[in-house]
């Protein structure tokens, strides 16, 4: 069981999950035991920030600055996405 995600959490890929570029297909995939997840562009941006040291708040700040978007909108989207990925066992905090 993983701790609930919140702005101060430091999420990372769950044990056994790996983000890899499938060069043959020209897409990124998340590989895990007996499963594969193909992230869309938005999910890929978030997954690339999962370094095990950056907090959710830090990820939100980075994305808001990168895309010159309102922080509140980015925060809502990032938290929702991370919670969904946590429910699927892709990320943990």
pLDDT mean across residues, the chain:
92
* Domains of the chain in sequence order: 12-92 (1.10.10.1150)
> Alpha-carbon distance 81 to 86, whole Å?
9
- pLDDT of residue 8 exceeding 50, the answer is yes
> Alpha-carbon distance 15 to 17, whole Å?
6
Judge whether 19 and 30 are in contact, CB under 8 Å: yes
> pLDDT confidence of 7, banded at 50, 70, 90?
confident
> pLDDT confidence of 5, banded at 50, 70, 90?
confident
């Amino acid at each position: 069981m993983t701790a609930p995600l919140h702005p101060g959490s430091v999420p990372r890929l769950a044990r056994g999950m790996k983000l890899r570029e499938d060069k043959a297909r020209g897409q990124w995939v998340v590989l895990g035991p007996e499963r594969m997840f193909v992230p869309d562009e938005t999910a890929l941006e978030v997954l690339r920030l999962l370094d095990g040291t950056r907090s959710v708040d830090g990820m939100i700040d980075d994305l808001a600055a990168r895309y010159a978007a309102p922080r509140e909108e980015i925060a809502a989207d990032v938290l929702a996405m991370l919670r969904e990925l946590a429910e699927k066992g892709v990320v943990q905090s």
